[in-house]
Amino acid sequence: MIPSRYWMSSAMMLLLAVCHGPAARTQVMPASKQAISPQEFFDGIVRNYDPANPPKFDDLLKVQHDIEGMPETEVSLILPSIFAALSHRDDNVKTFAVAALFSTVLRPDSAALLSSRIESISALFALPSARLQGSAVHILAMQRPHPGREVIGPLLGFLKQTDRDPLAQADSMTALLQIAPDNPAVLSEAYHFLSRPLDVQAREAALNAIANSKTEAARLTDAVIEALNDTSQEVRFTAAQALWRMPRDVIVRAEPALQQLIGRPDEAQEVKAAAREAVRAINQEK
């Protein structure tokens, strides 16, 4: 599944941008002397959000900590306030709600808590913000103990779009190949996504998604092998590295292309080294 540390880094960068942005004060203010509850925090920003005086960052951190430790019944009671913030017209308010939902998905009961909120979370896919699109992917995909089948449709619908952030869509592909690895629609759309004219980062992310899924679907594994001939050195390196983690039969099928890569006199040494490791993996226990 998508690493939580990646999501946390992305989310915290976005929150710091809200608190430190041009409309915010020059320093994050200390937490309020009188602690406020999560519901008070979100009801307050929905009613009175002022970009020139955003919520105190430490207050948000306390709210997140409270949500992680609350009984399930108490979290259920504050979810309406969080989702009111998520539907606010200001993207900064949405971002504070996203932070709370990240704390929610870290809970062992998050799938049950959020199962009736999938449509509201998926509404973030329609927004122009790449970070909010990516946030929706992670909130859907990281639910515990595991995401419900109801997240497949929204994630798949997002992956099909051609005007969304490709890195967020690559994360959606990663999630889908973990949640529904044998779903024909998922396999087909993953292939179509990788067939688009993606930038280097998105191609690398898609190749890693295929490798990490351990899929043996022919069209997807063939796409990784074909990427050994990509015009980008970074993509060729990623494809060779990805093959290390794939089923042995896939590496055996890729061996001729790997050997060609190793034999190219103008190929980068790090790419050749990755290809050699992939070939070596053929003789290792898989």
pLDDT recorded at residue 57: 87
Residue span of the structural domain in which 57 resides: 1-145
**Is residue 111, in this structure, part of any structural domain at all?**
yes
61, amino acid identity: L
Q: Is the pLDDT of residue 171 over 70?
A: yes
Q: Is 240 helix (H, G, I), strand (E, B) or coil?
A: helix
Show Cβ contacts of residue 102 under 8 Å, excluding neighbours closer than 6 positions: 7, 8, 11, 64, 135, 138, 139
Q: Is the pLDDT of residue 19 over 50?
A: no
pLDDT recorded at residue 4: 42
* Angle (CA) 250 251 253, round 5°: 65
**Is residue 210, in this structure, part of any structural domain at all?**
no
**Is residue 215, in this structure, part of any structural domain at all?**
no
Into how many domains does the chain fold? 1
The residue assigned the tokens 């190749």 is 207
Q: Which two tokens stand for residue 131?
A: 């970070």
Are the beta carbons of 104 and 138 closer than 8 angstroms? no
Question: For residue 21, how many C-alpha atoms fall within 13 Å in the half-sphere facing its CB?
Answer: 16
What CATH number is given to the structural domain containing 54?
A: 1.25.40
pLDDT recorded at residue 129: 96
SS percent in the chain: helix, strand, coil, step 5: 70, 0, 30
49, amino acid identity: Y
Q: Is the pLDDT of residue 24 over 60?
A: no
Measured CA to CA, the distance from residue 179 to residue 173 in angstroms comes to 10
pLDDT recorded at residue 284: 79
Average pLDDT, the chain: 89
Show Cβ contacts of residue 47 under 8 Å, excluding neighbours closer than 6 positions: none
25-66 residue pLDDT tens: 333 334 445 678 999 999 999 999 999 998 888 899 999 999
**Is residue 139, in this structure, part of any structural domain at all?**
yes
**Is residue 32, in this structure, part of any structural domain at all?**
yes
Measured CA to CA, the distance from residue 257 to residue 267 in angstroms comes to 13
Question: For residue 284, how many C-alpha atoms fall within 13 Å in the half-sphere facing its CB?
Answer: 12
Q: Tell me the pLDDT band of 84, cut-offs 50, 70 and 90.
A: very high
Q: Tell me the pLDDT band of 260, cut-offs 50, 70 and 90.
A: very high
pLDDT recorded at residue 15: 52
**Is residue 6, in this structure, part of any structural domain at all?**
yes
Q: At what angle do helices 130-141 and 152-160 cross, to 10 degrees?
A: 150
The residue assigned the tokens 């103008």 is 266
Cis peptide before 145 (omega within 30 of 0): yes
Q: Specify the higher pLDDT residue, 283 or 88.
A: 88
99-131 residue pLDDT tens: 999 999 999 999 999 999 999 999 999 999 999
**Is residue 223, in this structure, part of any structural domain at all?**
no
Instruction: Lowest mean pLDDT of 50-64, 149-163, 191-205, name the range.
Output: 50-64
**Is residue 202, in this structure, part of any structural domain at all?**
no
Q: Which two tokens stand for residue 118?
A: 């999938």
Count the neighbouring beta carbons within 10 Å of the beta carbon of residue 188. 15
